[in-house]
Structure 1
């Protein structure tokens, strides 16, 4: 039986919406508020133990049906040079009996699936709303909302992203996000699948791609940017075109032929943060990017958010009191998440130092082996 009866989740993205599911499955009455009216973004990938969280949340089959599963024969993590010559098959990932396929899914589709599941469990979801004030009291969290409503909850789960307002309120001395020295540019290229899925590397940067069943090819890319600087849409476009033009591999040439004036790019610096243990104070706990945002070098940011959600639900169900539950949550999450954040930062630095791909692959292999242990 859950040690709380009610919870407010702030933020309706990966960590927040799935935390709402996990808590509701334990019988907790959950309200969720999310400022964005519609989910945005590109692709998400869930692999290893993180993919198993989808089973526990009860949404694996639906996500599998709407996404792209990656079995053991997938080439999505292979590495090629700019001409298309295979350099490496990529890092080795552990397997275990009963392991489920990794899945890539279009982010808006995934969040629609998760929201529908949350609502079926009775979660009250309000869009375009967030909190105005919170009072983290001894017996409850009293909340006023931007639409004039008020509420009182046993627990507030802050899943409000790397720029978390809640983190600043609850932990005023918390570290600020740090720039990792690289730029991420993502593109949802229209059209059918392209043979040769994997990563391609040139002196300008690297890009990879895989197909999504919504009729598009997801193209993430990483370019070194030693100093943080503001980039206009035209700046991002110019950098991405330079990257495409630096490669002659036939799959990249096909992508280049699809790139036109209507192409929409998402350019973001790789920022990261790791909030020290604990991520909770009183009746407020931070999860997901609010506590541990990372770069995409391991492809595990979304997976760690899902694991947070599931472990929080388990901890609330297994403990006699909320303080015991939150302490147990931290005991299971901090070192695991620290591994992902610190490995991702190190991988970014190795790329900037022009280390051989084999060094990156070895580091990834060791990290994935550790993450193969149950969460």
Structure 2
């Protein structure tokens, strides 16, 4: 039996909606508030223990059915020649174990639809377009007033409100701010069928990788070194991305270039990272996901760490006699794994900026994935 009866989750994206599922699985009555009316984004990938978290949440089969499972012969993590497309490195090795499930890539809005429906089935109350006005943490509960005029008191408030978390600023006013990682991320859902020679390509301009999704799109992720933080306009993102494509002559990149036009929607953002030290909770308020530990996409594990947060939170409140015991147990299980992902991702970005040989990046990734293969 869970040590709490009620919980409020602020933020209904990857960390938040799945935390609601994990808590509801333990009999907790959960409310979720989410300001965004519709989910946005490109693609998510879940591998290793993060894929097992989907199993624990009861949604792996649905995600696999709508996504792109990793199949024998896939070259999506390989490193290829930007000139010819030939494989020059097969990419990092990932551990396996009895009962392991294949990694899966999934269109983000589809993933959030699946999670939302799973939460609905468990009785979670999801309120979209609703925010909070005030939060008062007390000895007997967290009292919250909402933007729609309602109020509520909960045993636990889970803040999953992203890298720009306002609750983090309120609870930990002296906490570190997100730090620029020295690179620009550009993502594109290119329309059309599969493109041959999936993998990662690099030139003097930057690097990009791609894989096909069943929604009839090719997910393209690009990374470009950026000397200092600045926001890019839509036109600047397009110009930068076009220059990257034009710097490569491999057939696959030429095919992608032919699909790019003035109406193509590109998402361009500077990479930032954050890791709260020590405890991510104070009183009855806990931060999870990007609110506590945001990272760049170099390991492809940001979403996976959010899923693990969700599952471990559910397990912790089920196993502990009191909420403080549960939150302490949660931190003991989460901090070192998350720190490994953040530190490795930041390190990989710096290696790219220093033009380290690809084999060094692959070796660091392989070592980190081996550690993450241990149960969470």
TM-score (norm 2): 0.99
Q: Deviations over 1:28-64 (max 9, x none)?
A: 0000000000000000000000000111101010000
Residue 36 of structure 1 corresponds to: 36
Q: Supply the distance in 2 between the matched residues of 1:277 and 1:148 (Cα, whole angstroms).
A: 35
Residue 366 of structure 1 corresponds to: 367
Q: Supply the distance in 1 between the matched residues of 2:72 and 2:24 (Cα, whole angstroms).
A: 33
Residue 26 of structure 1 corresponds to: 26
Q: Supply the distance in 2 between the matched residues of 1:260 and 1:344 (Cα, whole angstroms).
A: 32
The answer to whether the Cα contact below 8 Å between 2:231 and 2:270 also exists between their aligned partners in 1 is: no
Q: Supply the distance in 2 between the matched residues of 1:72 and 1:181 (Cα, whole angstroms).
A: 35
Residue 75 of structure 1 corresponds to: 75
Runs of 4+ in 1 over 3 A off after TM superposition: none
What's the offset of the Cα at 1:227? 0.6
User: SS at 1:135's partner residue?
Assistant: strand
Residue 183 of structure 2 corresponds to: 182
Residue 144 of structure 2 corresponds to: 143
Q: Supply the distance in 2 between the matched residues of 1:216 and 1:235 (Cα, whole angstroms).
A: 23
The answer to whether the Cα contact below 8 Å between 2:143 and 2:154 also exists between their aligned partners in 1 is: yes
What's the offset of the Cα at 1:73? 3.1
What's the offset of the Cα at 1:85? 2.7
Describe how 1:94-133 pairs up with structure 2 within 5 A: 94-133=95-134
What's the offset of the Cα at 1:81? 2.2
Residue 354 of structure 1 corresponds to: 355
Greater shift after overlay, 85-94 or 188-197? 85-94
What's the offset of the Cα at 1:72? 4.7
Tell me, yes or no, if structure 1 residue 333 matches structure 2 residue 318.
no
What's the offset of the Cα at 1:142? 0.4
Greater shift after overlay, 318-327 or 67-76? 67-76
| Alignment root-mean-square deviation, CA | 0.6
Describe how 1:204-243 pairs up with structure 2 within 5 A: 204-243=205-244
The answer to whether the Cα contact below 8 Å between 2:191 and 2:216 also exists between their aligned partners in 1 is: yes
Residue 305 of structure 2 corresponds to: 304
Q: Supply the distance in 2 between the matched residues of 1:360 and 1:294 (Cα, whole angstroms).
A: 17
Q: Deviations over 1:77-120 (max 9, x none)?
A: 00012111322100111111111010000000000000000011
Residue 197 of structure 1 corresponds to: 198
User: SS at 1:370's partner residue?
Assistant: helix
Q: Deviations over 1:3-49 (max 9, x none)?
A: 00000000000000000000000000000000000000000000000
User: SS at 1:219's partner residue?
Assistant: strand
Q: Deviations over 1:124-174 (max 9, x none)?
A: 000011111100111100000011100000000000000000000000000
Q: Supply the distance in 2 between the matched residues of 1:292 and 1:91 (Cα, whole angstroms).
A: 23
Residue 17 of structure 1 corresponds to: 17
Q: Supply the distance in 1 between the matched residues of 2:295 and 2:106 (Cα, whole angstroms).
A: 19
Tell me, yes or no, if structure 1 residue 245 matches structure 2 residue 240.
no
User: SS at 1:151's partner residue?
Assistant: strand
What's the offset of the Cα at 1:262? 1.1
Q: Supply the distance in 1 between the matched residues of 2:201 and 2:281 (Cα, whole angstroms).
A: 41
Residue 294 of structure 1 corresponds to: 295
Structure 2: 5+ residue stretches without partners: none
Q: Supply the distance in 1 between the matched residues of 2:260 and 2:326 (Cα, whole angstroms).
A: 50
The aligned length equals: 375
Residue 134 of structure 1 corresponds to: 135
Residue 60 of structure 2 corresponds to: 60
Structure 1: 5+ residue stretches without partners: none
TM-score (norm 1): 0.99
Q: Deviations over 1:329-354 (max 9, x none)?
A: 00000000000000000000000000
User: SS at 2:200's partner residue?
Assistant: strand
User: SS at 2:292's partner residue?
Assistant: helix
User: SS at 1:41's partner residue?
Assistant: coil
Q: Indicate how the Cα distance of structure 1 residues 72 and 311 shifts in structure 2: closer, same or farther if over 3 A, else same.
A: farther
